[in-house]
Amino acid sequence: MANITLKGNEIHTIGELPAKGTQAPDFKLTATDLSDKTLADFKGSKLVLNIFPSLDTPTCAASVRRFNQLATGMANTKVLAISKDLPFAHSRFCTSEGIENVVNLSGFKCSGSFGKDYGLEIIDGPLAGLYSRAVVVIDENGQVIYTQQVPEIVDEPDYDDVLKVLS
């Protein structure tokens, strides 16, 4: 269980992020066209999983915008923006913001398996049931090469740290 904070108040996740050097857990999430996407759909590419509670918060929206900018310079890398927001909300947000370089995925119908398997579902406090703010980087072979559990949920991820791992 990870101890994180929401505006200084302690909250917890269901577990820990996958360990560096382990095989990334498979997932089944929903794309904006309502198709199912799994880890295997991205085989052969590096993946940056930008995971957050909701696009309807300023910090989450900022992280999607920033990773959208960064994605243009990342060779053989796909950025997946993952939350429990409905696919329609992901689509609307990206259309209104001109975001074209990230793959938006929703965990709204995955029965909690993604949040549990990746150890990032929040289990208490006002955001219980949503995902914590985290970044997981997976290499072309499906191995976890980096994780970042953002300790204060209203803070943005450390983008520079993510870029170092990808270079």
Active site residue ranges: 60
DSSP string, 87-143: HHHHHHHHHHHT--SEEEEE-TTSTTHHHHHTT-BB-SSTTTTSBPPEEEEE-TTSB
Q: What string of DSSP letters covers 33-68?
A: TS-EEEGGGGTTSEEEEEE-S-TTSHHHHHHHHHHH
Beta bridge partners, 102, equal 79
CA proximity to 51, closest of 131, 155, 110: 131
